A = this chain, B = another copy of it.
């Protein structure tokens, strides 16, 4: 019931891949376990950059053993010039998680902003301020990619819990209905 859930958030990027691990226990505010950035040099061959990102994420996964990995959903509609690289960095993070059997969830930037600040149109500063407040930090993790990764992890913790609570309620309700139904129609069977 009270076991902690760890989420690794990944804000994908070739130059800077934000990573943040947040732990949540039901009924308590989430806490920051670790935050950082996986960087690759812009002058390196693309294939080797992807390999370095893989090694970086692999290290975060084996060190922190998250229960879920939350990755920002990449849209082709924005930043046409960099979307391919961003999508590939996200794909590598997903691949590493899948290899470890860790479930992957994708959240859109506006889902994250809405979950953290209450508005899907919040800017990076507002997200950073709220991340710091939620985690009781004196200031937002830096750079912004790191703060975004933490925001993704918190979002998943909250949305995940909400979903779980909803699923639990549905299961409870359905069990109750079935029980009622059974008590009213005992020994009734139809093919």
Name the distance in Å between A101's Cβ and chain B's nearest Cβ: 10
Distance in angstroms between the alpha carbons of A92 and B87 in the assembled complex: 11
Q: How many copies does the complex hold?
A: 2
Interface locus among A26-34, A44-52, A115-123, A167-175 = A44-52
26 pairs from A and B in contact (CB 8 Å cutoff): A45-B98, A45-B104, A46-B106, A47-B94, A47-B95, A47-B97, A47-B98, A50-B91, A50-B94, A50-B95, A50-B98, A51-B98, A54-B95, A54-B99, A75-B84, A76-B80, A76-B84, A83-B83, A83-B87, A84-B87, A87-B88, A87-B91, A88-B91, A91-B91, A92-B92, A92-B95
In the complex formed, the residue of B with least CB distance to A52 is B98
